[in-house]
């Protein structure tokens, strides 16, 4: 019996040895495969970076303070950022920023050469006219010029080792306490980059041949020029539809102001047998130098409009127009100044004025699934084409404050 037991033990040892050899061979093969293919293998050591995020205050050209996101590299092994121009050193690191309103940003680095250890870096929006809605920069010098404000709350700075695909650090200590409560749901430059809040682009269709242009300093704003035969159509999208508070923030330079011109709106007008049917979520016009806004009540389907009492728009000049709906009440601003207006229960400008304040309707915007149009009303019978230039615009799901409107006007932004 004993010899048989030793024989069995000897056989088991051979099996274990064989298994160990196979495991060793597989392990060597994995290492070699990682080296050959360039994969982040078990041999890779992630880069070490110790940094501290914070809110940094800078002074803009108009003398107003602005908070931006900064982070200081306290200690670090040699590294460089993805997209950084030479000279570069060390391992590649991707800078990722998560905003309080849930956007994910990857700032473009504008950093001089040399070690990054000991430097304070600044993250801020690219505020030039050519920039997109979600373009941000990271630089080792404080930003210059007027900036778009930051959203309030904690901004998270993350550093990712791209070779190992590992999160090196994540810091949420950059808390912005002076800024805006939220960005627009959609905004940008007509005919160019128009973005949703989550930084995904909005598609559109161009009708006619509008011409792109650029307004030099101090505006530094891209624009699209309409000749009366051009217009844009943005497909129905949740970020373009509003049923509560909203703001239309837009820069215009009309060629003429003595006719009816649709600037931007979402709805449809149909004419049949001499009758006109309106189905409007919202629509903004310029009518004989006045600003006109119309909508359909979502509960009664009654068509209303508000219109400035005085001529407030001029031809051949850039003007900043805001239509604000807050708690069901409207406001109209031109170049940052609140304008007097009246209510009308009609789809004809100036007809059926409501003179009793107790009868002023609350604005209860009615949803629809029509595209948003810019430069022409969605109507074959009454298109009311716009001629002139349209610059930056934005649509918010809240009423902008007077301070925000003033800030936009002073910084040529929307």
Task: Tell me whether strands 136-139 and 108-110 are parallel, antiparallel or unpaired.
Answer: parallel
- Distance CA(413)–CA(169), nearest Å, equals 34
pTM as predicted: 0.77
- Distance CA(188)–CA(125), nearest Å, equals 13
Q: Measured on CA atoms in the order 338, 58, 116, 47, is the torsion positive or negative?
A: negative
Higher pLDDT, 341 or 201: 341
47 pLDDT exceeds 90?
no
- Distance CA(364)–CA(245), nearest Å, equals 9
Mean pLDDT, residues 113-132: 82
Q: Measured on CA atoms in the order 326, 328, 329, 332, is the torsion positive or negative?
A: positive
18 pLDDT exceeds 90?
no
Domain 186-410 has CATH 3.40.50.300: no
Task: Report residue 277's pLDDT band, with 50, 70 and 90 as the boundaries.
Answer: confident
Task: Report residue 220's pLDDT band, with 50, 70 and 90 as the boundaries.
Answer: confident
The CATH 2.60.120.200 domain(s) of the chain lie at 186-410
Q: Which residue has the tokens 């820069």?
A: 251
Instruction: Using alpha carbons only, give the angle 233, 180, 282 rounded to the nearest 5 degrees.
Output: 30
Task: Report residue 149's pLDDT band, with 50, 70 and 90 as the boundaries.
Answer: confident
Q: What pLDDT, on the 0 to 100 scale, is given for residue 133?
A: 66
Topology adopted by domain 49-176: Immunoglobulin-like (2.60.40)
Give residue-wise pLDDT tens across range 295-319: 999 999 999 999 999 999 999 999 9
Residues of the chain with pLDDT > 70, as a percent, come to 88
Phi, psi of 129 (to 5 degrees): -65, -25
202 pLDDT exceeds 80?
yes
Give residue-wise pLDDT tens across range 159-187: 999 998 999 999 999 999 988 888 889 99
The CATH 2.60.40 domain(s) of the chain lie at 49-176
Q: Which residues contact 15 (CB under 8 A, 6 or more apart)?
A: none
């Amino acid at each position: 019996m004993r010899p048989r037991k030793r024989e069995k033990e000897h056989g088991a040892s051979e099996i274990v040895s064989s298994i160990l050899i196979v495991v060793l061979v597989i392990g060597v093969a994995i290492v070699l495969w990682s080296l050959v293919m360039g994969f982040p293998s078990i041999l890779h050591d992630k880069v070490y970076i110790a940094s501290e995020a914070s809110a940094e205050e800078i002074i803009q050209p108009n003398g107003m303070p602005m908070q931006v996101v900064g982070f200081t590299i306290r200690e670090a092994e040699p590294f460089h950022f993805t997209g950084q121009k030479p000279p570069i050193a060390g391992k590649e690191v991707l800078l990722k920023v998560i905003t309080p309103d849930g956007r994910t940003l990857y700032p473009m680095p504008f950093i001089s050469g040399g070690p990054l250890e000991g430097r304070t870096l600044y993250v801020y929006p690219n505020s030039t006219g050519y920039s997109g809605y979600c373009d941000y920069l990271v630089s080792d010098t404080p930003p210059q010029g007027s900036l778009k404000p930051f959203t309030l709350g904690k901004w998270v700075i993350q550093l990712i080792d791209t070779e190992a695909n590992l999160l090196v650090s994540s810091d949420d200590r950059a808390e912005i306490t002076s800024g805006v409560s939220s960005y627009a749901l959609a905004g940008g430059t007509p005919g160019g980059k128009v973005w949703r809040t989550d930084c995904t682009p909005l598609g559109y269709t161009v009708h006619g041949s509008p011409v792109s242009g650029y307004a030099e300093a101090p505006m530094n704003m891209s624009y699209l020029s309409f000749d009366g035969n051009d217009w844009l159509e943005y497909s129905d999208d949740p970020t373009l539809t509003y049923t509560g508070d909203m703001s239309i923030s837009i820069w215009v330079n009309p060629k003429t102001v003595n006719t009816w011109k649709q600037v931007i709106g979402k709805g449809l007008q149909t004419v049949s047998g001499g009758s006109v049917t309106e189905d409007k979520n919202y629509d903004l016009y310029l009518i004989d130098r006045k600003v006109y806004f119309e909508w359909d009540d979502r509960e009664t389907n009654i068509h209303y409009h508000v219109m400035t009492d005085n001529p407030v728009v001029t031809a051949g000049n850039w003007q900043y127009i805001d239509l604000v709906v807050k708690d069901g009440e409207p406001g109209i601003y031109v170049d940052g100044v609140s304008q007097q207006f009246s209510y009308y229960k009609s789809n004809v400008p100036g007809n059926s004025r409501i003179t009793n304040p107790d009868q002023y309707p609350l604005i209860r915007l009615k949803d629809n699934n029509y595209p948003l149009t810019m430069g022409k009303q969605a109507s074959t019978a009454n298109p009311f084409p716009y001629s002139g230039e349209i610059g930056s615009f934005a649509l918010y799901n809240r009423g902008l404050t007077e301070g925000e409107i003033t800030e936009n006007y002073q910084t040529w932004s929307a």
